[in-house]
Amino acid sequence: MNVAKANSIRMEFEDNDTLALLSGEHNQHLAYIEKSLDVTLDSFGNSIKILGTAKATKTARNVIENLYKRIAETSRDEVDKSMVDDALRWSINGHEATSVSMADPFETWKKKIVAKTKGQSNYLKLLRDNEVVFGLGPAGTGKTYMAVASAVEALKKRVVERIVLSRPAVEAGERLGFLPGDMKEKVDPYLRPLYDALYDMMPADKVDRMLASGEIEIAPLAFMRGRTLTSAYVIIDEAQNTTPVQMKMVLTRLGQDSHMVITGDLSQIDLPVSQPSGLAEAVTFLDNIKGVGIIHLSGEDVVRHPVVARILQAYEAGQNKQNTHK
């Protein structure tokens, strides 16, 4: 930190209990913020003094305000490092401190699922406001996890009677015909992210019972033809690997009182080079159609380990450079 250009901000807080949670045991959360933003944080009484460059102190203030509001809103009795990372991500990306939840969280059996980035907040709102939503973006942006959260909430509130999970049978360099078992058994391993999300939001015995009863259904994309899905929450994952014919087919399966979320990453298409992606075609054709929401999440919305966001940004920069020289 360049002390010659140092700037200071003093923040005062009404609730000392919330402030103590924010600071962490032995001020560990404040120390983490200091290290992340190259600022100095001095805590005494009900106040925090921030010392650093003008830009860094403003960002630190936003981080602390965001974190304080989220703790107060969610009535938490502990704060972990992931919450601090969320507040850092939100503020470093240039968003002013507002309500950190940004949109009503999804209510699942085990936890509330809140948006962690501006993009996720917009995605959450689209999921609430539209019958069909396309969530596009790289790995780690929460596109599948948020879709499952929306579906679980709808099932819990009995807005729908079942959840239907599906995906095309194409995966990076592999063909499912080489795997043992019937089509469901072949596809199940590739639906692991959806299963993991379900078990994260619902008691394991409830997931297992609903899988057995059909309230949660695994329906390989090839088996969707000819069906009409009523009162269902349908999630099509890895949809970049659908063909245009498959995408049109699955979109027209939607019945009364149903919702559909189609997720995918257009930078990870595993189809033959000569085969266009149905997802890419659909988002072009269906832009500005009433009842259809489309969102493009980016590296700023990655909520995995911070290095994942930096890796994705490096790849994006490298690919843009390659495209420029073509």
- The pLDDT assigned to 129 comes to 93
Residue 121 near residue 102, CB atoms below 8 Å:
yes
Domain layout of the chain by residue ranges: 3-92, 106-323
Query: Is the pLDDT reported for residue 263 higher than 70?
Result: yes
* Sign, Cα dihedral of 84, 111, 70, 263: positive
**Fold of the CATH domain 106-323:** Rossmann fold (3.40.50)
At the fourth CATH level, the homologous superfamily of domain 3-92 is K Homology domain, type 1 (3.30.1370.10)
Helix (H) or strand (E) holding 73: helix 54-74
Residue 266 near residue 277, CB atoms below 8 Å:
yes
Residue position matching structure tokens 């949109």:
103
Residue position matching structure tokens 């019945």:
255
User: Which pTM does this prediction carry?
Assistant: 0.71
Mean pLDDT of 220-237: 87
Helix (H) or strand (E) holding 63: helix 54-74
Range in 51-55, 146-150, 290-294, 316-320 the model is least confident about? 316-320
Residue 219 near residue 194, CB atoms below 8 Å:
no
Per-residue pLDDT of 46-72, as tens digits, reads 899 999 998 889 888 888 988 888 787
